[in-house]
Structure 1
Amino acid sequence: MIDNNRYPTSIRAWVTVGILLVAYVLSFIDRQILNLLVGPIRADLGISDTQMSLLMGLSFAIFYTVAGIPLGRIADSKSRRGLIAWGVAFWSLMTAACGLAQQYWHFILCRIGVGAGEAALSPAAYSLIADSFPADRRATAISVYAMGIYLGAGMAFLLGGIVVTWANAQGPMTLPVLGIVRPWQLIFLVLGAVGLMFCLVLLAIKEPTRKGVGAGVAVPLKEVGAYLLTIRKAVLCHNFGFACLSFASYGASAWIPTFFIRTHGLTPGEVGIYYGSLVMVAGSTGIVFGGRLADYMARRGYRDANMRVGLLAAVLTLLCNAVYLVDNMPLLWAIMFFNVFTVAMPFGVAPAAIQEIMPNAMRGQASAIYLFTITLIGLGIGPTAVAMFTDFVFQDDMAVRYSIFIVASVITVGSIILLWMGLKPYRAARDTLENWSEQQGQPG
């Protein structure tokens, strides 16, 4: 008889995390590469900062969020590995299609496709990881997976900077069938091809057995909604508190390369190498540190450890936002390192917190709702909010530093308030899950 509550071996579990991490890295490279290519894309398509921000954020975010909830439902009952493979293939094709865009609306449609494809990854990945690790190791495991955010963003800048420098030196290239291809278009074509090849690697994932009552069974949406209503205060404070941090993070990171180029005179290649390297190191260590700290606090008896780490990160991030007003470059880079570190800390513990307050059969859907909220608010609005301050409040491209500082600081204060308010409801939500599981006759 198979023990459904038995976890995979440590090696098997970490192999799964490693493969999912690479998938997440690829998704963030595809998602963030636009931030380094503002200049050439604006020039070729004849668009403003605000229009560019819609490519970075809203066009991607709307369909990422809309597709995420039904795909999260599939992740709760069907093959999670298969769902991820189809998602990677689709978003890679759409990334390659971005490289063929000739007009602004072509690009918008392709970015919508990238968003819809990437929506398949994280709800299924969170579910796979939650079924591969016991609760006291889960925040660390999910944080390692979430390193993909910063490894991917950093590689987008680092490799993008190198490729942009090389491609600009070569000028437009003529490819078979496709004809003349501009340097920025070539980058999207290469990324799409890499993603399609990676689909074969996903076959190495072996799905763990689902743990808990009703695992693998499609729970009616009405039942999911009813359960969420019983813990609504915790869910609202959690989702919107971390969404505010996502807003600050996406809003700033979308324009930081442009900030360095416009305010400090760096070239895109220099930004890619310097800032990309910093993001990879500071972001990756920050997100893993957040997970390790949460697991340590959990072992010390804190039942709201994941929320507390998020709150701590928000306070530290608010202090580090002063970096956008600094002109001394050595000091700026030092503060920027800590800024990226603290911004990264919450994004492993936030999804881990969802796993702790939801029954297994509802985790994918709850994760999709969380991703819906943070992506629509963070990626969907953050970059555009900064751009609109630059275009309509300051009416000066050179004021982007002040736009980032104001938007990031105000929204981070909102995050601090919401996460503080959510500590007590979150502890109550954990009690609710334990009581629910006892009524079902099995641990959740």
Structure 2
Amino acid sequence: MQPTNNNAYPSTARAWVTVSILLVAYVLSFVDRQILNLLVAPIRADLGISDTQMSLLMGLSFAIFYTIAGIPLGRVADSKSRRGLIAAGIFFWSLMTAACGLAKTYWHFVIFRIGVGAGEAALSPAAYSLMADSFPPEKRATAISVYSMGIYLGAGMAFLLGGAVVTFAQAQGDMVLPFFGLIRPWQFIFLILGAAGVFFCLLLIAIKEPSRKGVGAGVAVPLKDVGAYLLSIRKAVLCHNFGFACLSFASYGASAWIPTFFIRNHGYTPGEVGLYYGSVVMLAGSTGIVFGGRMADWLARKGYSDANMRIGVAAAMLTLLCNVVYLVDNMTVLWIIMFFNVFTVAMPFGVAPAAIQEVMPNSMRGQTSAIYLFVVTLIGLGIGPTAVALTTDYIFQDDYAVRYSIFWVASITTLASAILLWLGLKPYREARETLKAWGERQGQSA
């Protein structure tokens, strides 16, 4: 039986326990998702594939089914047990991650990456809904930003772990495991990650479902009604979704190839990239995303109803300036700018999903969060890494031109993000008013 609608939020301690567990789940998902980025060389060598084929493993094969599965799973999150949905998703994607470690051909790998994407689609729509019902509006951006730290903690851990594995591989070579036989070091890490995820499912018992709050809480809404509501605020939704998707395009496109950029253009070893870049991602990304959430909550308390969107505009403009990092050769200057680049690109990825919660009825939050993730993931992760690879392979036709591919792809899409988010400020404020009016009508008809 689902929790009923009431105005009592969980205690602060209980709410932050929920966020902490969800954060660890998100970290695991991003380690599983991003580990490929530092394993380009050994996987390419074993499977005999190109940069473009590798990019499809990094992005599109994962993103297509992550996005397709997300919308029906978001609908489940609006009416069924969110904790149970998350547990099922983690269990499935962990099995698929382990299966990636058993892949013998490129197409086996593609199929298993599709499975990882489908499983991970269960997490965020349900997590956003849980947090929206655990914190009052003026604290949500911070809470969701802390959860979203998982993006950068997970990606950073993937680089650190991947670097260690590559270093280990060079020293130890192949392994023979019971039941599995001969295993390459890069395959071993997928088996370990899969096992960790399966055991983590037990920790979800500590999450207690909060009551569903707000307009339409606990009510199953037909898809046509969700579509009709979205059409009524379409300008805000389009500017929001595609504005943040362009920033995601730049972020995923760059981060997928930054390790290769350091290896090809600056002579770093994979282990060095994992240590240095992984540490920057964890520190700068985590602080940037929380800073963005705190700033949005501060602006909201000052009376700015479009605070979350304003943070997006500011982040895009600052990131655009920092993209010069890919053209810098002085390593001290490069690492300083890289820190700020990761910080600024991270700023909006907590406020973006928080913004969705502020313009949608409770009963539509899971579905609209899934639609947001559909757009952002399909465009960002699905196309971003491949856009950089195609630019390198077919425009510059030079592996060492990857720095220019990253620069141009990231700069063009970051500029597009700034424009779209700026255009969305007024429609977003109007969407906040639309929700108030919709709630009043629902109250009158009840």
Indicate the TM-score class for this superposition, using the shorter chain for normalisation. Answer: over 0.9
Deviation at 1:217, TM superposition (A): 2.1
Contact kept, 8 Å, 1:168 with 1:183, in 2: the verdict is no
Query: Where does the alignment leave 5 or more consecutive residues of structure 1 unmatched?
Result: none
Aligned to 2:316: 314
| Residue equivalent to 2:128 | 126
1:160 Cα deviation (Å)? 1.9
Matched AA of 2:307: A
Matched letter for residue 91 of structure 2: A
- Cα separation, 2, equivalents of 1:87 and 1:329: 41
Q: Give the aligned partner of residue 220 of structure 1.
A: 222
- CA gap of 1:153–1:2, structure 2 versus 1, over 3 A, is closer
AA in 1 matched with 2:429: R
- Indicate the SS of the match to 2:358: helix
Alignment match, 2:377? 375
Matches of 1:128 and 1:167 in 2, distance apart? 41
Give the alignment of 1:287-302 within 5 angstroms. 287-302=289-304
Pair 1:422-2:424 in alignment:
yes
Q: TM-score, normalised by structure 1?
A: 0.99
Report the CA distance shift for 1:3/1:81 in structure 2 as closer, same or farther (over 3 A). Answer: closer
The one-character-per-residue Cα deviations of 1:408-441 (angstroms, maximum 9, x if unpaired) are 0001111111001000000000000001111112
Q: Which runs of 4+ in 1 moved over 6 A?
A: none
- 2:219 and 2:4 mapped to 1: Cα distance? 17
- 1:171 deviates by 0.5
Equivalent in 1, 5, 8 of residue 6 of structure 1: 8
Cα distance in structure 1, aligned partners of 2:436 and 2:4: 24
The letter for the 2-side match of 1:335 is I
| SS of aligned partner of 2:102 | coil
Alignment of 1:372-411 (within 5 A): 372-411=374-413
Q: Aligned-pair distance for 1:167?
A: 3.1
Equivalent residues of 2:326, 2:404 under 8 A apart = yes
> 1:231-271 CA deviation, whole Å, 9 max, x = no partner?
00000000000000000000000000000000001111110
Alignment of structure 1 residues 247-266 onto 2, 5 Å: 247-266=249-268
Deviation readout 1:52-84 (Å, 9 max, x if unpaired)? 000000000000000000000000000000000
* CA distance, structure 1, for counterparts of residue 36 and residue 339 of structure 2: 22
Equivalent residue in structure 2 for 1:337, among 336, 339, 342: 339
Deviation at 1:163, TM superposition (A): 2.6
Question: Per-residue displacement from partner, 1:294-342 (whole Å, max 9, x unpaired)?
Answer: 0000000111000000000000000000000000001100000000000
Match of 1:271 among 270, 273, 277: 273
2:231 matched residue in structure 1: 229
**Correspondence for 2:204 among 194, 202, 205:** 202
Inter-partner Cα distance in structure 2 for 1:60 and 1:247: 15
Matching of residue 432 in structure 1 with residue 429 in structure 2? no
Distance 2:94 2:179 in 1: 19
Aligned mates of 1:203, 1:24 — CA distance in 2: 16
The match for 2:149 is: 147
Tell whether the 8 Å contact from 2:4 to 2:211 is kept in structure 1 after alignment: no
Equivalent residue for 1:17, pick from 16, 19, 22: 19
Deviations, residues 152-172 of structure 1 (Å, cap 9, x unaligned): 000000122123212331100
- 2:424 partner SS: helix
2:58 corresponds to which residue? Answer: 56
Contact map agreement 2:5 2:218 (CA 8 A) in 1: no
**Inter-partner Cα distance in structure 1 for 2:425 and 2:49:** 44
Q: After the TM superposition, which of the residue ranges 208-217 and 251-260 deviates more from structure 2?
A: 208-217
User: Where does residue 137 of structure 2 map in the other structure?
Assistant: 135
In structure 2, C-alpha distance between the alignment counterparts of 1:219 and 1:210, rounded to whole Å: 14
Counterpart of 1:281 in structure 2 is: 283
**Which secondary structure state, in structure 2, belongs to the residue aligned with residue 206 of structure 1?**
coil
What amino acid is the match of 2:148?
A
1:77–1:216: 8 Å Cα contact kept in structure 2?
yes
Please name the residue that 1:87 is paired with.
89
Equivalent-residue separation in structure 2 for 1:117 and 1:99 (angstroms): 17
**3-state SS of 2:304 partner:** coil
- 1:365 paired with 2:364, answer no
Q: Is the 8 A contact 2:296 2:307 kept in 1?
A: yes
Cα distance in structure 1, aligned partners of 2:106 and 2:161: 25
* Number of the residue aligned with 1:412: 414
What is the CA–CA distance in structure 1 between the aligned matches of 2:215 and 2:387, rounded to whole Å? 43
2:68 to 58, 66, 69: 66
- Aligned partners of 1:52 and 1:167: how far apart in 2? 20
Secondary structure of residue in 2 paired with 1:70: helix
User: What is the RMSD computed on CA atoms of the aligned residues?
Assistant: 1.0
The letter for the 1-side match of 2:95 is L
Asked if structure 1 preserves the Cα contact closer than 8 Å seen for 2:66 and 2:119, the reply is: yes
Q: Which residue of 1 aligns with 2:42?
A: 40
For these two proteins, the number of residue pairs brought into alignment is 442
- How far, CA to CA, are the matches of 1:438 and 1:90 in structure 2? 41
Q: Structure 2: which 5+ residue stretches go unaligned?
A: none
Give the corresponding residue for 1:27: 29
Distance across 2 between alignment mates of 1:322 and 1:47: 30
